[in-house]
Structure 1
Amino acid sequence: MRRRHRRLEASADLDITAFLNLMIVLVPVLLLGMVFTQIRMIELNFPGMEAGEAPPTDQFRLVVTVIPDGLEVADSDRGLIEVLPAKEQNQDYEGLRTVLQQIKSRVPDKTDVILEVGPEVDYQTLVTVMDTVRSYSAVVAASVVEAELFPDVSLMDAEEGRTLAARADAANGEGA
Structure 2
Amino acid sequence: MRRRHRRLTAQADLDITAFLNLMIVLVPVLLLGMVFTQIRMIELNFPGMEAGQAPASENFRLVVTVIPGGLEVADSERGLIEVLPVKDGGQDYQGLSALLQQIKARMPEKTDVTLEVGPDVDYQTLVTVMDTVRSYPAVVAASVVEAELFPDVSLMDAGEDRTLAQSASAADGGGV
Give a deviation string over 1:111-152, Cα, whole Å, max 9, x none: 110000000000000000000010010000000100000000
Q: Which runs of 5+ in 1 are unaligned?
A: 1-14
Report how far residue 49 of structure 1 moved. 1.8
In 1, the alpha carbon distance for the partners of 2:90 and 2:140 equals: 30
Instruction: Report what 2:32 is aligned to.
Output: 33
Q: Contact 2:82–2:174 at 8 Å: present in 1 too?
A: no
Instruction: Report what 2:111 is aligned to.
Output: 111
Q: Contact 2:117–2:156 at 8 Å: present in 1 too?
A: yes
Report how far residue 25 of structure 1 moved. 2.2
Instruction: Report what 1:54 is aligned to.
Output: 54
Report how far residue 51 of structure 1 moved. 4.5
In 2, the alpha carbon distance for the partners of 1:42 and 1:173 equals: 35
Letter aligned with residue 54 of structure 2:
A
Instruction: Report what 2:90 is aligned to.
Output: 90
Q: Which runs of 5+ in 2 are unaligned?
A: 1-14
Instruction: Report what 2:102 is aligned to.
Output: 102
Q: Contact 1:68–1:89 at 8 Å: present in 2 too?
A: no
Instruction: Report what 1:125 is aligned to.
Output: 125
TM-score, length basis structure 2: 0.85
Instruction: Report what 2:7 is aligned to.
Output: none
Instruction: Report what 1:68 is aligned to.
Output: 68
Residue 143 (1) aligns with residue 143 (2): yes
Give a deviation string over 1:81-135, Cα, whole Å, max 9, x none: 1100012330000000000000000000011100000000000000000000100
Change (3 A) 1:101 1:32: same
Number of residues of Structure 1 aligned to a counterpart in Structure 2: 161
In 2, the alpha carbon distance for the partners of 1:62 and 1:22 equals: 60
RMSD after superposition: 1.7
TM-score, length basis structure 1: 0.85
